[in-house]
Every structure is written in structure tokens, then in C-alpha cells.
Amino acid sequence: MKESEYQRRRECVSCSLKKNSLAIIFSARAQIRSNDTEFPYRQDSNFYYLTGFKEDNAILILRRGKRTTESYLFVQKKVKELELWTGKRVGVKAAKNSFKHDNIFISDRFEEKFLSFMKEHQYIYYDFTFEDKQVDFIREKTKHLSAHFNIATLIAKERLVKSPAEIKLIKKALEITKEAHHYAKDYASELSKESELQAGIEYIFKKNGAYSDAYTSIVACGNSANTLHYISNDKKLVDGELILIDAGCEYEYYASDITRTIPVNGKFSKAQKELYEMVLDVEKKIISMVRPNILRSSLQEKSEELLCKGLVSLGILKGDVKKLLQKKKHKKYYPHGIGHWMGIDVHDTSPYKDEKAKEIPLMPGMLMTIEPGIYIDKDDKNVPKRYRGIGIRIEDDILVTHEGYENLSKHIAKEISEIEGRNS
């Protein structure tokens, strides 16, 4: 992504600050796993969104005066002895050539510069959830100020609408995710365990240059699919059962989020097909409703109505649909939301309501998942036996456009004819 993209974002956030303000955004800290080993490092999403800088021990300061805005980046000093252990650092000199800020300093100078800047500013912004000794330093040195604001709230608003450059990266992530899901549908019958299938999916992510999975993959065979956040992925792949696969990669910090439900042996049984077609029909109808100015809550309500009707038609629920909805009887089988924002984070932190607690309508450039599902536990004696132990979710990534929507993941097989066909 071009540096001009990050500059534009910093300018937008800076202009949202009160005049005479300082905003401080910290990089993620390296996390110790055991003794002198660390977890793989991933930059804080907000810090990366504003800088494109991938190293730890970095800080961004945004200054807004009465008429101008400025940005300052602080980076880790290059130390040859440390680089022997942890790898090369960008350093100040190279950072000045690659990142366009008003000035760039070594991180050791942050406290000095912050105190100097504070003499000219009366408002302070930082991420209230960030816990660090430098945040403690900020709180201590600015406790005389009555106005502290959460910078994460402003950045979250900015992240709501995706730029063309962001959409391009998400499309690339989805190309890789397509290959992984198509591998799963074509080769699941040749594997023995959920973990083998997960390994194949994530190998494809890494092989194609994705940083990693965008979230912990769910590979849930049979009744395991009825645990919504099932991540143990350690059961056998059983012939005749379905596998719910919720897996997406992260490419250049941008996520994909896809769920497909496929038969282990490549063919749906009659009961599986009945449930699957019902969920797929609901998903298509909800996707077709996406357009500017519609409310996410409207999509939720309609998905519940349609799924409840489907459950009644299959004999899983009995009674009047309107009364069943009022009593929330369908929630036993469809307990989650219709979808969520996504972008740099698979569940983007952008708001669903404005400052007045009014729901934010969809706008062009917003990106959300649409993911209806039905989950029927194997021990649910209230359900016809043929449907017990089946969990189905179908999820796509939907971009809101001026005309309506674009299904960015439409190329990932989900029609029964596509799933039952190989190598497509």
C-alpha cells in the first residue's frame, strides 16, 4: 500500500481531534511465550492503519494546533548487537526515506518530545485499553488536564469505510482463501482428522504469501459444528457427516472470513441437503438486501424470520412463525448475529452505533460478513432424528456499493452442485 494512503488516514484522524490536541498511538508490544522466546509479532491494527510500520517499540504522535496538523514517528534505534538476535531494524535514517512524517526520532526520545509538545496543548488522546509503562507516564504527566479522549474511538470510525487499496488487499486474501476452501472440498474424503484438513488449509495460506490465518480456524466435523467457537480440531473426519469450515487468511494485515459446510465424502445426504438448501436460500436473500442506508438490524430481523420459517417447514419447530419469533424459539438453533464488520481485524472494531446510540446505516465502502447458520445438537430429542447432529453455516464477505453490494467471495464454491463436483 502506498505511503500516501497512510498519510491520508493520519490527516483524517488529525482533523477529527480538538484544536490544541496531542494524540499518542503505540505499537503492539512483543509478547513473551516462554523464557526468551516470543509469540509471532503482529502490529497493533490501529497503529498499522495509520503508519504501515510493522516493528515494535514504535510510537506515533499526532499534533493538532489551531491551524495545522503534524505527525511524528518514533522508532527503535538500530543496535548491531541486538540485531544479531532479533533481526535488522528499519532505524531512523531508512524510516525517513520510506515513511512521510514531519519528523522521525528514535523511541528513546519519546518522553522528552512528549513533554515538550504538551506545553503547547491542552487536550490528550490515547487508547484507554492500552496498558504499558509509557501509557502510565502519559496519565501521570497529564493528570492536571480534565480532558482525556480515547483515540481508538476516532480511528474506529475512520476504519468503517474501506478505500480501494484496502478492498484490493481483501480481494487478494479471498483469492488465497478460495484455494484453501476448494482444497478442503476436493480432498477431505482422503484425510482422517480435522487437524489434517486444518493443516492443509493453513499450508495454502502460507504458501501463497498470507501472513497467517486471520483467526483460529474452525474445522468441525459432525456434532462439533454445533459448538460455535470450536477450535480443538482434533476429531476424526467421519464418512457421511458434514464438516463446517470457518477459515480465512490474513494478507498484508487484511482479513478474509469465510465459512463453508461440506460433506466428508463429497455427497450430501437427503436430510443434509434439505437443511443446507434452506440456509443457503436465506443467505442469498439477505445478501440481496444489502444496499446503502439499510440497517444491519433489518438484515438480522429478516434472517431470523426466514430461518424460523425454514425450521417450521422442515418440522424442526412447530407452531405459528410470528409467535415463535416473539418467544425467540428459533434462537436455540440460530443464536448469533447475521454478520460483522471486517477489515484489518476479522471483527473490525468499528462502531455499529453513533455517539447518540443511533444505529449507523450501511454506506458505500463498508464491508461486512453475511453468515446465517443452523445448529442442531445430536441429543436434541425435539428434532426429527434425521437432522440431529448437523451444524451448517454459510458465510460470505459483502462490500456495500453505491448500487447495492458486491459479494467479494462469490467465487468460493457454495452451491451443492459445486461442492459435489471436484477440482472446480
Question: What long-range pairs does 163-168 form, CB within 8 A, spacing at least 24?
Answer: 163/5, 163/365, 165/1, 165/2, 165/5, 166/1, 166/254, 166/343, 167/367, 167/399, 167/408
* 393: annotated active-site residue: yes
The dihedral sign for the CA sequence 54, 59, 65, 68: negative
Which one is catalytic: 89, 330, 340, 388? 340
Residue 32 or 414, more confident: 414
- Smallest CA-to-CA distance from 199 within 157, 237, 172 is with 237
pLDDT digits (tens, 9 = 90+) for 77-134: 999 888 888 889 999 999 999 999 999 999 999 999 999 998 888 899 999 888 878 8
* 229: annotated active-site residue: yes
* 330: annotated active-site residue: no
The region of weakest confidence among 75-89, 247-261, 378-392 is: 75-89
Q: Does the pLDDT of residue 424 top 80, yes or no? A: no
Q: Does the pLDDT of residue 360 top 80, yes or no? A: yes
CA pair distance 138, 160, nearest whole angstrom: 28
* 336: annotated active-site residue: yes
* 276: annotated active-site residue: no
CA pair distance 312, 305, nearest whole angstrom: 11
| Residue 135 confidence class, pLDDT cut points 50, 70, 90 | confident
Q: What is the pLDDT of residue 321?
A: 97
Q: How many CB atoms lie within 10 A of CB 362?
A: 20
* 190: annotated active-site residue: no
Q: What is the CA radius of gyration of the chain?
A: 24
Residue type, 250: E
Which one is catalytic: 213, 345, 395, 397? 395
pLDDT digits (tens, 9 = 90+) for 275-317: 999 999 999 999 999 999 999 999 999 999 999 999 999 999 9
CA pair distance 281, 44, nearest whole angstrom: 38
Which one is catalytic: 291, 336, 406, 420? 336
* 347: annotated active-site residue: yes
Q: What is the pLDDT of residue 80?
A: 87
* 395: annotated active-site residue: yes
Q: What is the pLDDT of residue 327?
A: 97
The region of weakest confidence among 63-77, 191-205, 248-262 is: 63-77
Q: What is the pLDDT of residue 423?
A: 61
Which one is catalytic: 202, 371, 396, 397? 371
Q: How many CB atoms lie within 10 A of CB 355?
A: 8
- Determine the average pLDDT of the residues in 370-397: 97
Q: What is the pLDDT of residue 7?
A: 95
Q: What is the pLDDT of residue 86?
A: 84
Mean per-residue pLDDT of the chain: 95
Record: fold of 164-420: Creatine Amidinohydrolase (3.90.230)
Residue range(s) of every CATH 3.90.230.10 domain in the chain? 164-420
Contact between 413 and 402 under an 8 Å Cβ cutoff? The reply is no
* 196: annotated active-site residue: no
* 340: annotated active-site residue: yes
Exposure string for 91-115, b = 16+ CB within 10 A, e = fewer:
bbeebeeebebeebbebeebeeebe
Q: What is the pLDDT of residue 222?
A: 97
* 139: annotated active-site residue: no
Who's near 222: CB < 8 A, 6+ residues apart? Answer: 235, 238, 241, 242, 378, 389
Which one is catalytic: 55, 257, 283, 304? 257
- Smallest CA-to-CA distance from 14 within 102, 97, 143, 75 is with 102
Which one is catalytic: 67, 144, 229, 402? 229
Predicted TM-score (pTM) of this structure: 0.95
Residue range(s) of every CATH 3.40.350.10 domain in the chain? 3-158
- Determine the average pLDDT of the residues in 248-259: 97
Contact between 39 and 69 under an 8 Å Cβ cutoff? The reply is no
- Determine the average pLDDT of the residues in 235-240: 97
- Determine the average pLDDT of the residues in 140-160: 91
Q: Does the pLDDT of residue 24 top 90, yes or no? A: yes
CA 232 to chain centre: 20
Q: Per the CATH hierarchy, to which homologous superfamily does domain 3-158 belong?
A: Creatinase/prolidase N-terminal domain (3.40.350.10)
